[in-house]
Structure 1
């Protein structure tokens, strides 16, 4: 049971009206919260305790020997009992509380109370339960009142900061709100800046999944911060970090706070719609400019001084996911050129986006185009779309390789398929004497644009030797090396074998 402002403690039990209980030893645990009352006459109560109970006994089976009580008190302390109420009186085994029992309570720091013969254990049990029920009623009432106040703030257009300030005033909890990429969007005065930065780093590196809460130990705060995601539909929108106070009232109200934060994010999304349309229009306009001077001037007008652009295309899993990606990529890639087009999130990054996207951990197929000047924006986006198709198949970010389609194909194809393909194409040469020499000659001849002279110079042999080897290759493979299809297959097979220029 969590601590609440209204929870019944051992001190509260001692002060219950009409019970006439006496505190024989208080120690340091009188503020321990009572989970339940438990009356039992057993020599060892361990199997019936779960922790937090206030135990009642007359000691009928323990007698007056200190040894028996020593084992009993030790087990109570070990199992986390909140305290012990000893029934005393003329008809009880103990007419008064013996000194050795007070010493044992002091040794185990266990609160010890005594009940007179006029106070029956059932009466104590009823009084404790009635007080606990009342405490829970007040807790629920206070939590509901807090939820109403928070809802009223949102309904009146209040900010995230206003929500968190009311949260701190009502619960005493330091709290902050972060977006998916770790930006601090609001906090109450109790959250230190160092703690906010540490939480932002954790959110970026290891974000908790929807429906999960992670504890983050942060310097500068009195306790561990609990980081909980909140969502729009099924996609995480942001994170609430709070220094848990242990108040049941706060725990009951947290789901409402998370829902209101999600609602606030949705409201912001609709308010930002004009800006998103402007971003999409700017991107569409840039894609029509094929003159570098005009394209650069257009970017400067947007406050973008980059001379190189990279196309980025991401396949969102839903409309909500696309909305989230638009906001996230604007921050991650630092670009105002983004849009949702034909179900895809498209953008132009002003720096190489591969590392940034990998650190962000985008959980969807991603294609990246090559680096181009501003006039090549349309081309790099087309390349990114082509790379996206391969990314969907292999489940990883794929970057297009411009001017070397074979490298692009080799990078994304299955290794077993490549090996089988190379073996099938080059098998006749492999089976021939001096096949390794013929393979080297074929690779060099293709790399030198089928120039016999350049190939001979590079290999250090006579040009007639090269002509003879090319003729030999034609005979072995049964294919004309003047045929473009044959050249392409041989080139890809050689690259798959590891031949490099």
Structure 2
């Protein structure tokens, strides 16, 4: 755009190179003129200078005004024609576009080579960073880092699980407050992971190629996991039908789960693809212990699995029931409870957890807390009197929680049967009552469960 008007803003659409001889410019109008140029969105202001021009050099005050308004200022000699300036601009733009296109082609080739060599997600990310210098991080749907580093992006890695949860809802914007990063869900139509990328004005290409390659790679990994999912489904069935605590625990450990306690989660997929739901559960829950059983999806979940805390958000609006927390040998019981809870979930519109201790909620509402604790202390006092380290009390609690099973208690406490029997005989001696008596067991069971968990010794 060539104009000597003092009000060129009306002529500008943004992005122009504005060429002027400055015939109407005076020191008094510099600031107003530059602000007009800035408001019009001109990319650069060019002043024609020469002996036969109004200005033989750029005035220092005009330089100051442009600096203050962050307007780029340049000069061109009076004998340079406007068409020459236009050609120079187009040649520069064409050169820039060629460089950007070549950079895109080079990047595409490097990433394609990484994929072809089977380097996976980490190889794709390494190729991107080497070619662009921009750090990126790829996380799965649990927020676990698959490639890249949170430190390179200066973000808190503990935020990744929450960001992964947000990606399940397409309309929810995914962002980290006060962080200069771009966050993209990978995979279509279902998200398989997250791409978090830094920003840099030096990057010649956008993230489209990287996002496509990573999305395809994660989808490939997801499909490749199908045989493994089938094997884990068989393990779920074997655990639920195991006859002993040791057998159930051994099968879980062979699948990579070493928690002491577990839940069974039962999900009604409703109108969703049940096979797809099993695959997603295998990605979301640690260990991926999921199977299809009739119209439901059944999942074995360790009680420390972080996904349990976000179950409602993850599965909404699907009906889901969660069985009680049990040892591996009692997972069939937890499954029965979860099946009962899933029906209530459909009515309640949220996941329902079977509350095995519901009687204590009732007691808390009907019995004075001080009196309840006094009862507990009175019942357990004879045992505590001769048990300063709390070993007998811890043994009694475990034995009661294991439904008075010697084998279950020994396995859970990692002690010999002779040791357990000796401790139980000592408890009977201190109580002066046989543990086989129903009244004794009932009183002990109530006393143990009334006492706050914080008052139990760590043994």
* TM bin (shorter chain): 0.5 to 0.7
Q: How far apart, CA to CA, are the structure 1 residues paired with 2:255 and 2:57?
A: 87
Consecutive unaligned residues in structure 2, runs of 5 or more? 362-459
Contact 1:225–1:241 (CA under 8 A) maintained in structure 2: yes
Q: What displacement does 1:194 show?
A: 5.7
Residue 385 (str. 1) matches residue 339 (str. 2)? yes
- Please give the per-residue CA displacement for 1:9-33, whole angstroms capped at 9, x wherever unaligned: xxxxxxxxxxxxxxxxxxxxxxxxx
Residue 249 (str. 1) matches residue 249 (str. 2)? no
Residue 280 (str. 1) matches residue 240 (str. 2)? no
> Are the structure 2 counterparts of residues 102 and 286 from structure 1 closer, same or farther at C-alpha, using a change threshold of 3 Å?
closer
- TM normalised by structure 1 equals 0.61
Equivalent residue number for residue 40 of structure 1 = 3
Equivalent residue number for residue 328 of structure 1 = 284
Q: How far apart, CA to CA, are the structure 2 residues paired with 1:49 and 1:195?
A: 41
Contact 2:166–2:172 (CA under 8 A) maintained in structure 1: no
- Please give the per-residue CA displacement for 1:132-186, whole angstroms capped at 9, x wherever unaligned: 1231133123212211221221122113222111111211101111011110001
- TM normalised by structure 2 equals 0.66
> Are the structure 2 counterparts of residues 230 and 212 from structure 1 closer, same or farther at C-alpha, using a change threshold of 3 Å?
farther
Q: What displacement does 1:378 show?
A: 2.8
Q: How far apart, CA to CA, are the structure 2 residues paired with 1:113 and 1:303?
A: 67
Q: What displacement does 1:343 show?
A: 5.8
Larger radius of gyration: 1
Q: What displacement does 1:372 show?
A: 4.2
> Are the structure 2 counterparts of residues 162 and 217 from structure 1 closer, same or farther at C-alpha, using a change threshold of 3 Å?
farther
Equivalent residue number for residue 350 of structure 1 = 302
User: Which of 142, 154, 167 matches 2:128?
Assistant: 167
Q: What displacement does 1:206 show?
A: 4.3
Q: What displacement does 1:67 show?
A: 1.5
Residue 73 (str. 1) matches residue 34 (str. 2)? yes
Residue 57 (str. 1) matches residue 20 (str. 2)? yes
Residue 310 (str. 1) matches residue 263 (str. 2)? yes
Q: How far apart, CA to CA, are the structure 2 residues paired with 1:152 and 1:211?
A: 34
User: Which of 370, 378, 393 matches 2:324?
Assistant: 370
Equivalent residue number for residue 464 of structure 1 = none
The equivalences for 1:41-440 within 5 A come to 41-49=4-12, 52-60=15-23, 62-63=24-25, 65-77=26-38, 81-89=42-50, 92-94=53-55, 96-105=57-66, 108=69, 110-187=71-148, 191-192=151-152, 195=155, 197=157, 200=160, 203-204=163-164, 206-207=166-167, 209-210=169-170, 214-216=174-176, 224-231=180-187, 233-247=188-202, 249-251=204-206, 254-292=207-245, 294-296=247-249, 298-299=251-252, 308-316=261-269, 317-318=272-273, 319-330=275-286, 335=287, 337-342=289-294, 344-351=296-303, 356-358=308-310, 361-364=313-316, 365=318, 366-401=320-355
Q: What displacement does 1:126 show?
A: 2.8
CA RMSD of aligned residues (A): 3.6
- Please give the per-residue CA displacement for 1:359-386, whole angstroms capped at 9, x wherever unaligned: 6831342211234454442342233233
Q: How far apart, CA to CA, are the structure 2 residues paired with 1:206 and 1:196?
A: 16
> Are the structure 2 counterparts of residues 276 and 182 from structure 1 closer, same or farther at C-alpha, using a change threshold of 3 Å?
same
Q: What displacement does 1:244 show?
A: 1.5
Q: How far apart, CA to CA, are the structure 2 residues paired with 1:202 and 1:352?
A: 17
Contact 1:235–1:321 (CA under 8 A) maintained in structure 2: no
Equivalent residue number for residue 29 of structure 1 = none
